[in-house]
Structure 1
Amino acid sequence: MPDKLNKTTVKLENITQLSKGAKKRVYHDACGMAHGLELLGDRWALFVVRELMLGPRRFGDLRADLPGISANVLTQRLSELEASGVVVRSKLPPPASVQVYGLTEWGYEAEPIVQELGRWAARSPAHDPTLPISGVSILLSFRTMIDRSRIGNLDLAIGFRFGEDEYNAHVDRGGIHVERGAAAGDIIFSGQPSALAAFVYSGASLGALANEGALILDGDPALAGRFAYLFVLPPKLDPHCIA
């Protein structure tokens, strides 16, 4: 029995040491795509970058919007992204005085990667738009999926409240511009990001969503309808065309 316990202990120690000493995946390929995957290809890395696209966030906020990630893995990814120059740590001024993580100027340049990967994958017949989605993710999807030909002369200010997180957006001929800040505007959506996605992308009824307590609109429903009309998902790939 002692020998068996000793072997088990040694095995667990070896696994622990392997995990601690594990090196990042290296492809030994000069292609920029290969190095890009070395920087952002580890599990959860691109999710962390996505969640920082609208500004710096606290560790706890990142964990809340990435419920599938453990604290240890999030810490590891943030450390790796910081070491590679994608993420930077800073401290908010008083009275907050808390540590936050944000993207560097170079880190923000990764937004087209997030956008185009999302646009490409949305065509998959297996993509399930009813799964949970974070506030940052739905707002980034608006920046990706907006059809500028539908804007016309629309000039609209929109506020969003997702729990304690608040954002403002402005739609004009240039597209949609989003930033953090106290929600205000011609219309304000308050509720769950997944419910907002259902309204914009699936045509769910605002009344039904309000009755469920999932999404509340403050403002003219007609303006909300004009806002939703701006966003078009790419056509699904015909599964019969997949070899």
Structure 2
Amino acid sequence: MAAREYGQYCGVTRALELVGERWAMLIVRDLLVGPRRYGELAAGLPRIPSNILAARLKELQDAGILRRMPRSRVIVYELTPYGRELEPVVLALGAWGFKALGDPREEQIITPDSMTMALRTAFRPQVAATLPATAYEARFGPTELLIRVDGSALDVTRGDGPVDLAFAAGPDIRRLISGELAPDRAIATGVVEVLSGRGDLLDRFADTFHLAA
């Protein structure tokens, strides 16, 4: 049973009882990227107290949303098929929250999993399908992502590889994704730093990944 009950017989109520506790949806968000060890989940949510992380994992496991699985001699947490049904909910929440994101505060960080899900949220497959296949390397502070777009398919992984455009940016990448800042202005103002490749491909990135603020 979840820690909180609302006393109403309603699907929305039951959903909140299962995933409405603090940190629960962020755990789901990160597990939508892929299975994670306990330490990896803790590192991706640096402000979560260890006792709360353990409690949320147990609650989500009891609810059938995630499971513990042995992998290469370690235990990982992964979403069940029932848990993976939350992906469109998480993406919709991300798009809705983007409208109220505002400017980043100094203490706010970008994690690999949060940025991966942000890119999934902003991805426009119908636009990408009309553009040539493109690979990007994006560096957000210590976070480094390899973004491959091929037709309407998107693949985001950690690490590096051959790319058409490599760039670095901070939380202000939001201004590019929202359309507030044109790609050439993003480069000129230092919001985006081109590290290698053709800078004009940032236009393609902005067309492919867009969320209206």
TM over 0.5: yes
Of Structure 1 and Structure 2, the greater strand share is in: 2
- SS in structure 2 opposite 1:208? coil
Q: Compare CA radii of gyration and give the structure with the larger one.
A: 1
Could you tell me which of 76, 85, 89 is aligned with 1:100?
76
* CA pair 146-206 structure 1, distance change in 2 beyond 3 A: farther
**More displaced 10-residue stretch of structure 1: 31-40 or 41-50:** 31-40
Query: Gaps spanning 5+ residues in structure 2: where?
Result: none
Aligned to 2:109: 132
Q: Distance in 2 between matches of 1:139 and 1:193?
A: 14
Structure 1: segments with no counterpart, 5+ residues = 1-21, 236-243
Q: Could you say if the C-alpha distance between residues 189 and 50 of structure 1 is closer, same or farther in structure 2, counting changes exceeding 3 Å?
A: farther
Number of matched pairs? 204
Q: Say yes or no: does 1:113 pair with 2:89.
A: yes
SS, match of residue 171 in structure 2: helix
Give, in angstroms, the shift of residue 86 of structure 1. Answer: 1.0
Q: What displacement does 1:156 show?
A: 1.4
Name the SS for the 2:54 alignment partner: helix
Q: Once the two structures are superposed, what CA deviation does each residue of 1:32-64 show, in whole Å capped at 9, x if it has no partner?
A: 111111110000000100011110112222222
Q: 1:145 to 1:165 in 2, by over 3 A?
A: closer
1:73 corresponds to 2:52: yes
2:123 is matched with which residue? Answer: 146
Higher helix share: 1
**TM-score, length-scaled by structure 2:** 0.78
What is the DSSP-based 3-state SS (H/G/I as helix, E as strand, rest coil) of the residue aligned with 1:57?
coil
1:140 CA drift (Å): 1.4
Structure 1 residues 164 and 58 mapped into 2: Cα distance closer, same or farther (>3 Å)?
Answer: farther
Alpha carbons 2:167, 2:194 under 8 Å: kept? yes
State which drifts further: 58-67 or 143-152: 143-152
CA RMSD of the aligned region, Å?
3.0
